[in-house]
Structure 1
């Protein structure tokens, strides 16, 4: 399969102290790590592309390690999500190749994460933004951790590139009051509850 060629990487961390209510005792941290890579399938239809997922695994692991470290280490992480923006000479299916390498990398770094990693992808040009969905790492139904982080890079993806994104958070939304299953009540049986 093709070599993974990285043009640039970006890591960003937000600290959220309040959303109009009282200042939180501990701010929520929400972070994203992005990589802009050459799309080896740009400009043509290629039937067999699934092998490129194996090539992306080392990049996924490196990105997940860096992001977890920036947020205080794997033990601090409570939410996660992933996404991809495919440049205009590619197809949305090229972004789908990030599902396994991105998701499994985060689950490996975090140890015993049970919930499926939510994901989104689309085709777009330089400066395209993507809202990456976030859920709790062990139970997708924990409403307090339903979140999203907008990601993007001003000059990417170019037509022959893919922007790959991982997002992690350190807790529930600040001032969450939407009810539902609490993180403290997770049974951890199926990744849902």
Structure 2
């Protein structure tokens, strides 16, 4: 298949100074990058769709590059990540699942070998559909302080024959994280969990 046709990219960045408690010196930063692309399978059932995952890899790498740049340009500063996709009404949920591999691969590649599984979510919806992209620590999924989500969505996408694919990253834990559990400083880095 040809390279995915991109209608537009959107990058959003949040800086969070407090959540009701005392302001922090350095804000927590959360960001997402979205690409609105044509869905080559829209409007019809296609049995063999796996090849499109390979076609999506360069897009994933470009999106991960843009996201790291939006968060200051240093991959070592990224502590959390996640991915998601919204498929337009002429598509099916399985089309969104095609983003799992290329989206996760791209972030791991750009971050230099992050160990934790990249959490993901997906849905079918029309323009304006919102999606909560789950976030976990890049090296250990059990680090509770990094359990988070980034809400994404666009007023004009996805149109029926489109998909919105998203990557999200954070530079640290939630502001005022204090629910216990494994700390980032205690990560062993053996299995992506702890």
Give the corresponding residue for 1:57.
57
Measure the CA separation in 1 of the matches of 2:15 and 2:131: 20
Give the corresponding residue for 1:29.
29
Whether 2:154 is the aligned partner of 1:153: answer yes
Give the corresponding residue for 1:109.
110
Deviation at 1:48, TM superposition (A): 0.3
Measure the CA separation in 2 of the matches of 1:3 and 1:173: 36
Structure 2 unpaired stretches of 5+: none
Give the corresponding residue for 1:13.
13
Secondary structure class of the residue paired with 1:106: helix
Secondary structure class of the residue paired with 2:102: helix
Secondary structure class of the residue paired with 1:64: helix
Structure 1 unpaired stretches of 5+: none
**Aligned-CA RMSD value:** 0.6
Q: Could you give the per-residue CA deviations for residues 85-111 of structure 1, whole angstroms, max 9, x where no partner exists? A: 000000000000001110010000000
Deviation at 1:3, TM superposition (A): 3.4
Runs of 4+ displaced beyond 6 Å: none
Deviation at 1:181, TM superposition (A): 0.1
Is the contact between residue 32 and residue 67 of structure 1 (CA under 8 Å) also seen in structure 2? yes
Matched pairs, number: 193
Q: Could you give the per-residue CA deviations for residues 7-45 of structure 1, whole angstroms, max 9, x where no partner exists? A: 111001000000000001210000000000000000000
TM superposition score normalised by structure 1? 0.99
Deviation at 1:71, TM superposition (A): 0.4
Is the contact between residue 79 and residue 168 of structure 1 (CA under 8 Å) also seen in structure 2? yes
TM superposition score normalised by structure 2? 0.98
Is the contact between residue 37 and residue 163 of structure 1 (CA under 8 Å) also seen in structure 2? yes
Is the contact between residue 2 and residue 40 of structure 1 (CA under 8 Å) also seen in structure 2? no
Alignment of 1:89-128 (within 5 A): 89-128=90-129
Secondary structure class of the residue paired with 2:64: helix
Measure the CA separation in 2 of the matches of 1:30 and 1:86: 23
